[in-house]
A and B are shown apart, each in its own frame.
Chain A
Amino acid sequence: MRRLLDIKDLSVGFTAYGQTRQVLRNVNMHLDEGERVSLIGQSGSGKTVTMRTIIGTLPMPPGRVESGTIHYDGRSLLDLDAQDRNRLKGTGISIVLQDPMLSFNPVLTIRRQMDDIVRYSDIRLGRKRSKADREAHLIETLQKVRLADGMRVLESYPMMLSGGMRQRVLIGMALLNKPKVLIADEPGTALDVTTQDEILALLNALVEEERLSLLLITHNLGVVRKMADRVYVMEHGRIVETGTRDTIFDAPKHAYTRKLMEAVPPLYGAKVKTLQHEGSTTTIEVSHVSKDFEKKGGLFNRKTGNFRAVNDVSLCIQQGDIFGIAGESGSGKTTIAKMILGLSKPTEGQIKIDGQPISDFAGTQEFRKRIQIVYQNPGSSLNPRRSIADQLAVPLKFTGYSSAAIKTRIGELLELVDLPQTYSGMYPHELSGGQKQRVAIARAISVSPQILVLDEPTSALDVLVQSTVIDLLHRLRREFDLTYVFISHDLSLMRNFCNRVAVMLRGNVVETGNVADIFDAPAHAYTRALLSAIPVVSAEEEALKPKIKKQERDEVLASSSVLEV
């Protein structure tokens, strides 16, 4: 077997503000022909720097390769001159980037963007091809990534395609020049779980068909189990453990690998924790709620019709529940949360909190003491220019606390979320993601509400940090008798965190009930499709996942113009 990629003792440092930081330390890894290798680690561990050093897009300065070599097919990449190295791009090593939206130029057609790749590589390699030949090649490549209607895709602009189609086109672009090594950086993580599943299956199929070697960079262990023959685990720029997929998953040796494994919430099996809670009084009652948004367009931005985001939804949330609202993007789960918070009014129907219609008291002090929210991304929900103490003071100030009382309360709040008192004078950028989310939680509970709406509170965090935030939320709920409305697309987390769930599809609730019932015996085809698409970390869970027939799955997901893998 040929060794295609061989990295020996690679160390990379970054110099900024007069200080040098070691980002990669003596990294050793290799990739053989036809092999699928995964590089896993948390954000900031050095995965992306490794990838960029391989393909030669590391910004230098501030980056600098301090020692080590990278060999591609026997040639030393770091010693090649720029021209030779450019020749390898796309033909030797190719890459699929993470975000399918950001990787395209929004004002150029797909044809133009794909054709450019072929044209310039033809020039670099001294090949001559006619325009028609190139187009035939483009269509053929799109067929490979299962986009049947190649002509239509070529004519489209990026925004006209769905997320899954964009990701397919991106993979197609990487394959245009028949590379030997394909590097995939978090493929599909920006997409919904059912689409991600299709993309992963596609990549697996392409590795076989095109005889590619795959280097997969990801933080998702479930994806790794599905996609890798061999695994490297990276922590703080060091490879801490390496081995075949089965040895890593069945018998992880390094403490960090074990910690990573344990932090992944299990979907099925003995390790699943089920939250037992049976509420007696109804806290939130959503009855027959619909929400329409106006569609505008044409000349002078006239109203051209309505878009129904939420359709006739009824939910009943008991005191003390952790009520999960699950669904993919665009399913209407955030719209429901905004209506429960009184931030937008339902077009039809009514929402009551403790028997009182919220339209009667939304925006009042009493309402704010009833319900608060924690947002998905603490980077956006905390004001970057205000200190932690300033931000925690806002809800208190507007609920009539005196300035002395505000000061003591801020101290209490920081203690409640396990942050040191000294943090009160700091600014958000001085805190890590998990600490920022703790501040956001402290702000939400500052006026002692009874209900918290949690809008994907951990989806922006690493899995290790996620578990500590979840523990904190459990503790606060016990201590203050809170009710949570938990909005998420992460069903594994939901299985372990919630006691009741509602599953949403295109504005409708398709299924609702106790978490154990829904996960063990999903009644609706969509729930089964969702559950079967989740990448899990053990064979035991894989076996317990619900099975769904292809035809049934296609009916609920209605994926258009994509050929079957």
Chain B
Amino acid sequence: MSLLDDPDAPMRGLSSRQMAFYRFSRNPLAMIGAFIVLSVALAAIFAPLLAPSPESAGAFVDFRNRHVAPSWDHPMGTDNVGRDVLTRVIFGYRVSLMLVVGVLGVAVPFGIVLGLMAGYFGGWTETIIMRFTDVMLALPPLVMALAITAVLSPNLFNAMIAITLLWWTWHTRLIYRIVKAQMNEDYVEAARVAGASHAHILFYELLPNCFSAIAVKISLDAGFVILFGASLSFLGLGIQPPTPDLGTMVATGSEYMPEMWWQAVMPGLAILYAILGFNLLGDGLRDMLDVEL
């Protein structure tokens, strides 16, 4: 029994969306997450305006200012060829977010469509799609990505392809499970009795009920894609210099540990900051939209 459906209650007038935002705004961690994600996105978009020395983003060399410790001029110090680390971190967010948009922009729709089809049609469609998904999930992701980028040449685009090939599986599994649970609901049968086509049922009846789970999954995913891309770059198989990338910066900087710690630690903290933001946002969305993953 719902305790909230008394007819003369003053609760009326609050739509479910308003209630969801109320829950979100009362959750300090979610608000912090939203703030972090917003700051990362703004930094990436307005990088040329925000960065203290935009020329450091490219193949810039200033040997007089190598290995300068953090100071007012260089808040995060400079690297082994004298480039400003803060500038490179801000531009590095650009690359990371491009990776996120590129990977999720392809993997999510692809995973969703496969998951919808497997859950709705059942039978052979389900067996083929889901067993193929299982096979893909059984491959160790980093090894797989290393193999792909090693065969193709290591650059941003190929890193995107490698991560995309691995990422859709999680969305297929998620959507498949939600659709399976919905198949017992009468509205699916009601749509069929009303003569609705398969495409209508898939995209207008089933898909809207997956939206909140997808939103949560995407925001949690974004952090992991950044981390995965950084791992590839760290191993030298992702983004190539001189393009500023957080993973590459940690790899190069680690050679100068521990004396010149800022070169590895600052980009590392930047990765931590972004992932933390996406994860807090994702958790907040999960509480707000009340979904289970």
In contact, A23 and B6 (Cβ under 8 angstroms): yes
Tell which of B6, B186, B192, B211 touches A236, judged by Cβ atoms closer than 8 Å. B6
Give per-residue flags for B193-209: 1 if the beta carbon is below 8 A from chain A beta carbons, else 0. Answer: 11111001000110011
B15 lies within 8 A of A430 (CB): yes
Contact code string B206-237 (vs A, CB < 8 Å = 1, else 0): 00110100000000000000000000000000
Tell me the smallest distance from the CB of A92 to a CB of chain B, in Å: 25
Is A200 engaged at the interface, CB distance under 8 Å to the other chain?
A: no
Contact A383 B3 (CB under 8 A): no
B71 sits at the interface (CB 8 A): no
Determine if A19 and B11 form an interchain contact, defined as CB atoms under 8 angstroms apart.
Answer: yes
Task: Indicate if the CB atoms of B189 and A343 lie closer than 8 Å.
Answer: yes
CA distance A341 to B194 in the complex (A): 11
CB distance from B191 to the nearest CB of A (A): 6
Contact status of A398 and B195, CB under 8 A, knowing A16-B11, A17-B19, A383-B205: yes
Tell me if A368 is interfacial: C-beta within 8 Å of chain B. Answer: yes
Q: Scan A276-320; emit 1 where CB is below 8 A from any B CB, else 0.
A: 000000000000000000000000000000000000000000000
Taking the complex as formed, is A375 at the interface, i.e. its CB lies under 8 A from any CB of chain B? yes
- Residue contact B8 to A394, C-beta cutoff 8 Å: no
Pair A341/B193 contact, Cβ less than 8 Å = yes
CB neighbours (8 Å) of B7 from chain A are: 236, 432
What CA separation (Å) do A222 and B266 show in the bound complex?
A: 74
Question: Among A19, A23, A43, A399, which residue has its beta carbon within 8 angstroms of that of B195?
Answer: A399
Of A17, A18, A380, A394, which is within 8 A of B186 by CB?
A380
B6 & A44 in contact (Cβ 8 Å cutoff): yes
| Interface residue B10 (Cβ < 8 Å from any Cβ of A) | yes
For A390, list chain B residues within 8 Å (CB): 204
Within 8 A of B (CB), among A347-372: 363, 365, 368, 372
Instruction: Give the residues in chain A near B190, CB-CB below 8 Å.
Output: 373, 375, 381, 440, 443
Residues of chain B within 8 A (CB-CB) of A372 are: 193-194
Q: Which positions 1-48 of chain B face chain A at CB distance < 8 Å?
A: 1-11, 14-16, 18-19, 22
User: In the complex, which residue of chain A has the Cβ closest to the Cβ of B189?
Assistant: A343
Q: Which of A49, A237, A375, A394 interacts with B196 by CB under 8 Å?
A: A394
The answer to whether A106 has its CB under 8 Å from any CB of chain B is: no
Given contacts A21-B4, A380-B187, A386-B204, contact A429 B16 (CB under 8 A): yes
Shortest distance from the beta carbon of B85 to any chain A beta carbon, whole Å: 45
B185 CB within 8 Å of chain A: yes
Q: A380-B185, A381-B190, A384-B209 are in contact. Are A21 and B11 (CB under 8 A)?
A: yes
Shortest Cβ distance from residue B24 to the other chain A in the assembled complex, whole angstroms:
12
**A428 to nearest B CB, angstroms?**
9
How many angstroms from the CA of A237 to the CA of B8 in the assembled complex? 11
A21 touches B6 (CB 8 A): yes
| Residues in chain A near residue B11, CB distance under 8 A | 16-17, 19, 21
Once bound together, how far apart are the Cα atoms of A430 and B13, in whole Å?
10
A432 near B5 (CB under 8 angstroms)? Answer: yes
Q: Which residue of B10, B14, B200 contacts A394 across the interface (Cβ within 8 Å)?
A: B200
Give Cα distance in the complex from A19 to B4, angstroms.
11
Bound-complex Cα distance A398 to B15 (A): 31
Q: A17-B11, A19-B11 are in contact. Are A386 and B194 (CB under 8 A)?
A: no
In the complex, chain B residues 154-194 whose Cβ is within 8 Å of any chain A Cβ: 185-187, 189-194
Could you tell me if A49 and B3 are in contact, using CB atoms closer than 8 angstroms?
yes
CB-defined contacts of A397 to chain B, threshold 8 Å: 196, 200
Residues of B close to A90: CB separation below 8 A: none
Given contacts A375-B190, A383-B187, contact A395 B209 (CB under 8 A): no
Give the docked Cα–Cα distance between A304 and B1 (Å). Answer: 40
Q: Mark A389-410, 1 if CB is under 8 A from B, else 0.
A: 0110011011100000000000
Q: How far is B189's CA from A43's CA once the two chains are assembled, in angstroms?
A: 28
Cβ–Cβ contact A375 & B186, under 8 A: yes
Cα separation A43 to B196 with both chains bound (whole Å): 35
Q: Which residue of B lies closest to A364 (CB)?
A: B195
Q: How far is the CA of A49 from the CA of B6 in the complex (A)?
A: 13
In the bound complex, do residue B10 and residue A18 qualify as a contact, i.e. CB atoms below 8 Å apart? no
Q: A237 contacts B6, CB within 8 Å?
A: yes
Interface centre among B1, B14, B209 (most CB of A within 10 A): B1
| Max chain A Cβ within 10 angstroms of own Cβ: one of B10, B16, B189 | B189
A14 within 8 A of B: yes
A382 touches which of B4, B8, B9, B187 (Cβ 8 Å): B187
Residues of B within 8 A of A (CB): 1-11, 14-16, 18-19, 22, 185-187, 189-197, 200, 204-205, 208-209, 211
Q: A17-B18, A383-B205 are in contact. List 11 more A-B contacts (CB 8 A).
A: A23-B3, A236-B7, A363-B195, A368-B193, A373-B193, A381-B190, A383-B187, A383-B191, A386-B204, A398-B196, A432-B7
Can you show 7 pairs from A to B with CB atoms below 8 A apart?
A17-B18, A21-B11, A44-B2, A44-B6, A236-B7, A390-B204, A429-B16
